[in-house]
């Protein structure tokens, strides 16, 4: 029987917890209907641990949000950033402390802007790469001629308001293709919030961190180590048995509002490698030898069937050759 630990704190890791991040949000500083104060209240009401302030082409909201948080004694934290909104695609920046000019962006050499962002110790990622572009919303689809993905820290694989198959599934497949080739790119997701939009039963980004810890540092560590995950509810954890022969699975409840699972026995796990996809139950163990020497595998949690509509969680990539998995619990 599948057991879900009903606690946001990690078993045997008493100082760590899963933190829910809503990384992609806008305010009246650009084109949204929420003021900075509205956004803060909306996130706090939905029990978010930290949220991104990522207005289009401006960081004017940063000092306003900093002032709001200084005036209040709140557990919630803000991740300061910006969304570069160009005619050739959107670049999401997180942990951005100063504006980086982009007016000379070269569609054929976008690496230059990514590198300029990273030189400021910020994280640079591709937002909604397959969003509908021209003639519906010119620039929303990522059409820059990127050839060196080493400058990309993360890809927003799910942009919740976008169509599942036409946009988000393609983003997931792009990220999977890159990481299964060994590229060190993290995954994120976001609401792309422009108003008081319902966040229940939507994907959120989760990372590990300490209660009261510095969210900017924790996010950077999670992205650099590719330990982000996305989920509508529970987080799928994967461990290796002490003899390094089997994978074991554990579901940790994040207590995300709006998610309900009436029958926990309905979960199933898939492991995707560059060559194949394997299906198993989270209740048992999975022999590593069945992966046929694969170097990387992507674990995903589904409910009932392994269809995109039933996807619950995408867990961090397993580097099997490097055996960077924790020992079994």
**Each residue's pLDDT tens digit, 96-106:** 999 999 877 89
What pLDDT shows up at residue 2? Answer: 44
Collapsing DSSP to helix, strand or coil, 295 comes out as coil
149 preceded by cis ω (within 30°)?
no
How many CB atoms within 10 Å of residue 239?
A: 16
pLDDT range class, residue 135, cuts 50, 70, 90: low
What pLDDT shows up at residue 6? Answer: 38
Whether 152 and 62 map to the same domain: the answer is yes
Low-confidence winner among 10-24, 62-76, 184-198 (lowest mean pLDDT): 10-24
Whether 261 and 226 map to the same domain: the answer is no
pLDDT in tens, 41-61: 999 999 999 999 999 999 999
What pLDDT shows up at residue 10? Answer: 47
Q: Is residue 325 part of a domain?
A: no
φ, ψ of residue 269 in degrees (nearest 5): -120, 140
CA–CA separation, 95 and 109 (whole Å): 23
Mean pLDDT to the nearest integer, 116-136: 88
Contact 325, 239 (CB under 8 A): yes
pLDDT range class, residue 16, cuts 50, 70, 90: confident
Mean pLDDT to the nearest integer, 138-157: 93
pLDDT in tens, 282-306: 999 999 999 999 999 999 999 999 9
135 preceded by cis ω (within 30°)?
yes
pLDDT more than 90, % of the chain: 85
Q: How far is CA 257 from CA 162, 217, 232, 244, 314, in A?
A: 21, 25, 9, 36, 18
With CA atoms as reference, report the closest residue to 159 among 239, 90, 68: 90
Q: Which of 174, 209, 230 is the last residue of a domain?
A: 230
CA–CA separation, 325 and 18 (whole Å): 17
Whether 135 and 284 map to the same domain: the answer is no
What pLDDT shows up at residue 86? Answer: 92
What pLDDT shows up at residue 139? Answer: 78
pLDDT more than 70, % of the chain: 91
Whether 213 and 260 map to the same domain: the answer is no
Range of the domain at 207: 14-230
Q: Is residue 203 part of a domain?
A: yes
CA–CA separation, 72 and 308 (whole Å): 41
pLDDT range class, residue 7, cuts 50, 70, 90: very low
CA–CA separation, 230 and 223 (whole Å): 12
Q: Is residue 3 part of a domain?
A: no
Contact 138, 131 (CB under 8 A): no
Mean pLDDT to the nearest integer, 191-206: 97
Q: Is residue 1 part of a domain?
A: no
| Tokens of residue 294, six digits | 């694969």
Q: Is residue 267 part of a domain?
A: yes
Residue 85, Cα to own-chain centre: how many angstroms? 20
Please tell me the total count of domains within the chain.
Answer: 2
Contact 137, 128 (CB under 8 A): no
pLDDT at 4 exceeding the cut of 50? no
CA–CA separation, 287 and 293 (whole Å): 11
Element (H, E) at 314: strand 311-314
Q: Is residue 256 part of a domain?
A: yes
With CA atoms as reference, report the closest residue to 82 among 56, 116, 111, 102: 56
pLDDT in tens, 212-256: 999 999 999 999 999 999 999 999 999 999 999 999 999 999 999
Contact 20, 191 (CB under 8 A): no
pLDDT at 323 exceeding the cut of 60? no
pLDDT at 315 exceeding the cut of 70? yes
Whether 76 and 139 map to the same domain: the answer is yes
pLDDT range class, residue 325, cuts 50, 70, 90: low
Q: What is the CATH number of the domain that holds 211?
A: 3.20.20.140
pLDDT at 26 exceeding the cut of 90? yes
Whether 268 and 173 map to the same domain: the answer is no
* Mean pLDDT over the full length of the chain: 92
Burial of 324 (0-12, 13-18, 19+ CB in 10 A): middle
Q: Is residue 107 part of a domain?
A: yes
Mean pLDDT to the nearest integer, 263-290: 95
Contact 239, 197 (CB under 8 A): no
CA–CA separation, 274 and 205 (whole Å): 24
Q: Is residue 268 part of a domain?
A: yes
Burial of 117 (0-12, 13-18, 19+ CB in 10 A): buried
pLDDT at 145 exceeding the cut of 60? yes
């Amino acid at each position: 029987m599948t057991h879900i630990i009903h606690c946001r704190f990690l078993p045997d890791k008493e100082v760590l917890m899963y933190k829910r991040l809503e990384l992609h949000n806008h305010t009246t500083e650009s084109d949204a209907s929420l003021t900075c104060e509205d956004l803060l209240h909306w996130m706090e009401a939905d029990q978010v641990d930290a949220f991104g302030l990522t207005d289009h082409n401006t960081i004017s909201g940063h000092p306003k949000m900093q002032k709001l948080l200084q005036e209040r004694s709140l557990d919630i934290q803000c991740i300061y950033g910006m969304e570069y909104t160009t005619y050739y695609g959107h670049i999401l920046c997180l942990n951005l402390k100063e504006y980086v000019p982009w007016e000379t962006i070269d569609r054929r050499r976008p690496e230059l802007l990514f590198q300029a962002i990273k030189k400021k110790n910020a994280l640079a990622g591709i937002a909604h790469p397959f969003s509908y572009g021209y003639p519906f919303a010119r620039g929303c689809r990522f059409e820059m001629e990127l050839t060196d993905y080493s400058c990309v820290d993360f890809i927003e694989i799910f942009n919740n308001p976008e169509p599942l198959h036409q946009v988000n599934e393609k983003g997931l497949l792009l990220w999977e293709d890159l990481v299964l080739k060994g590229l060190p790119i993290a995954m994120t997701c976001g609401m792309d919030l422009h108003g008081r939009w319902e966040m229940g039963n939507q994907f959120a980004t989760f990372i590990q961190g300490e209660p009261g810890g510095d969210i900017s540092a924790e996010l950077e560590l999670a992205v650099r180590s590719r330990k982000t995950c996305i989920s509508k509810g529970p987080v799928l954890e994967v461990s290796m048995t002490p003899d390094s022969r089997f994978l074991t699975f554990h579901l940790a409840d994040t207590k995300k509002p709006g998610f309900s699972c009436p029958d926990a026995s309905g979960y199933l796990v898939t492991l995707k490698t560059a060559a194949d996809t394997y299906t198993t139950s989270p209740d048992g163990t999975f022999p590593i030898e069945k992966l046929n020497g694969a170097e990387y595998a992507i674990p995903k949690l589904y409910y009932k069937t392994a269809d995109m509509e039933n996807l619950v969680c995408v867990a961090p990539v397993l580097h099997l050759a490097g055996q960077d998995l924790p020992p079994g619990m």
